[in-house]
Amino acid sequence: MKRIFIYDTTLRDGSQGEGINFSLQDKLNITRRLDELGVDFIEGGYPLSNPKDFEYFHEVKKLALKHSRVAAFGMTRRKGVHPSQDTCLKALLEAETALVTLVGKTWDLHVIEILGTTLEENLAMIRDSVSYCREQGREVFYDAEHFFDGFKANGDYALATMKAAEEAGASAVILCDTNGGSLPGEIAAGVTAVRAALKPATQIGIHCHNDCDLAVANSLQGVISGATQVQGTINGIGERCGNADLVSVVANLALKQGYQALGSQCVRALTQISRYVYETANMNFRTSQPFVGSSAFAHKGGMHTHAVAKVSRSYEHVDPALVGNERRILLSELSGHATILKKTAKFDLHGDRALMTKILQQVQDLENAGYEFEAAEASFDLLVRKAAGIYQPLFQRLSYRVNIEAGRDGVPVTQASVKIRHGDQEEHTVSEGDGPVNALDGALRKALVPHFKNLEDLQLADYKVRVVNARAGTAARVRVVIESHDKRDVWATVGVSENIVEASWLALIDSIEYKLIKDRDQGR
């Protein structure tokens, strides 16, 4: 299999995305995870841009990386400045990485109108910078910024910049679609021309941005045309519309085209690394993200679910397990008996068709009232247990009360009281919180944790509210979905009511009951 090298720039290019800010520890943790994934090169940042990036290169040396090589990123020397006196190159070398990535200008527009210099001086800036870093014992990758725009505007000059970097000692030249405006045919033409112009030993890389929603497609086209290195970010995060999503790039290269990109077992970790970076960046998962999104292998229509249960490839282009994901069968009014059979397999109820019909009818009736079980499978689990007569509550809820008062300073104070019964013992607890849901959660925990210590690791991760029948105005029903997790699992529950507090209470109770029943069934 042909080897394709993966160069990750999540920590530099990815961090330029709107709303993304990695701490130093975040960057080190992501570096460790990328190394475990088998990424070949990790671009740590631009050491001159801020103290955090400079400190990163000091701290990353302490990590015992097993596979990845860390690269420091910087620019070619400034016009009229000797490389030894250039502050950027000095900082780049002080990062003490064995590999440095230099970015230079390829588009004559940028050379003349942005840098304000001559085409010849720009070639000298490239040669001097690459050769100086080589003299200091560094391997050099050369990033040709705006290559494809430059190639269209002045192809001869764009190729001249490539040759200048190669002649000065760059081991790889990376063709950048910096504006993200190129089409696959233009990528093919550019990569093919560079491959023909350079020596066979010089690696060609491809670095695409996603402004036309083509970064992954363009990266794959680059490989087909001769590139052996792909640059991008995990989940495609980055400035403007982002970068090429390495998750999709690697999955397509390895599973669709037969290239060696990471190890075969590492591809199975793509879902895990995707979600880890989302969590670290404090971003919501993109449910429709190809290969690794929670909806990537989710089936809803009855015809689809029936077919995929028989032959999975009938509606799935790859086995979800190959990328560490899983198949999901969604519950809705569109579901048929096959879906209910699939979703209730663990309860061993297949022989009871009347029960399947009962459950399906309840799902359809509840969804008509505003419930939605697609994103609340824990509530569906409890519904099945109740319909089948195997539901055994571990506590009894008696009553709850929520009171909101504005203090003298006008700041509202929320207090909730809860009554529950566990066996013969009745608990009545009170808690204040930041809003009614937080207060109810606190009161419930006070009442239940003395009896169920495992609730201590339960956390509420997300809370979503949606109006179901907006035309009813302030009397409209609302649907509340609560996402919860513990150290092992993630689940979601749903509640619907005209009263937002009651809807929240129903979803909250379901979450706690599911946690207790799940742990009991698993012997915890």
Render 28-44 in DSSP notation, one character per residue: HHHHHHHHHHT-SEEEE
Mean per-residue pLDDT, 214-222: 98
Residue 335 has pLDDT above 80, yes or no: no
Q: How would residue 80 be classed by pLDDT, with cut points 50, 70 and 90?
A: very high
pLDDT bracket for residue 333 (50, 70, 90):
very low
Residue 298 has pLDDT above 60, yes or no: yes
Mode of pairing for the β-strands spanning 41-45 and 99-105: unpaired
Question: 351-373, pLDDT tens digit by residue?
Answer: 677 888 888 888 878 878 888 77
Apex CA 251: angle with CA 146 and CA 326, to 5°? 135
pLDDT of residue 336: 53
Short-list 398, 388, 392, CA closest to 425: 398
In tens, the pLDDT along 130-170 reads 999 999 999 999 999 999 999 999 999 999 999 999 999 99
**Range picked from 96-105, 287-296, 462-471 for highest mean pLDDT:** 96-105
User: How does the average pLDDT of the chain come out, rounded?
Assistant: 90
Structure-block tokens of residue 145: 């910024």
d(CA 282, CA 300): 29
Reading phi first (left if > 0) and then psi (alpha if -120 to 50, else beta), residue 168 is in alpha
Q: Give the pLDDT mean for 249-269.
A: 90
| pLDDT higher than 80, residue 286 | yes
Taking residues 424-451, report their average pLDDT.
Answer: 93
CA 428, CA 420: separation in Å to the nearest integer? Answer: 7
On the question of pLDDT at 305 being above 70, the answer is: no
Q: Which residue has the tokens 């709303």?
A: 19
Q: pLDDT by residue (tens digit) across 395-405?
A: 999 999 999 98
Q: Collect all residues with Cβ–Cβ distance below 8 Å to 345 and sequence separation of at least 6.
A: none
Question: Higher pLDDT residue, 30 or 486?
Answer: 30
Alpha-carbon distance of 202 to 157, in angstroms, equals 19
Question: Which stretch of 6-20, 333-347, 416-430 has the lowest confidence by average pLDDT?
Answer: 333-347
The DSSP string of 279-339 is HHTT----TT-TTTSTTTTEE-SHHHHHHHHH-GGGS-SS-GGGGT---EEPPSTT--HHH
Whether 134 and 169 have beta carbons less than 8 Å apart is answered as yes
Radius of gyration of the chain (CA): 28
Assess whether pLDDT exceeds 80 at residue 243: yes
Beta-carbon neighbour count of residue 112 at 10 Å?
14
Write out the two tokens for 285. Answer: 């998962």
Angle between helices 377-388 and 353-368 (to 10 degrees): 130
The pTM of the full predicted model, rounded to 2 decimals, is 0.71
Q: Give mean pLDDT, residues 54-64.
A: 94
The 3-class secondary structure across 366-434, one letter per residue, is HHHCCCCCCCCHHHHHHHHHHHHCCCCCCCEEEEEEEEEEECCCCCEEEEEEEEEEECCEEEEEEEEEC
Q: What is the DSSP letter of 179?
A: T
> What is the rounded CA–CA span in Å between residue 296 and residue 75?
39
DSSP letter assigned to residue 78? P
According to the model, what pLDDT value does residue 415 have? Answer: 94
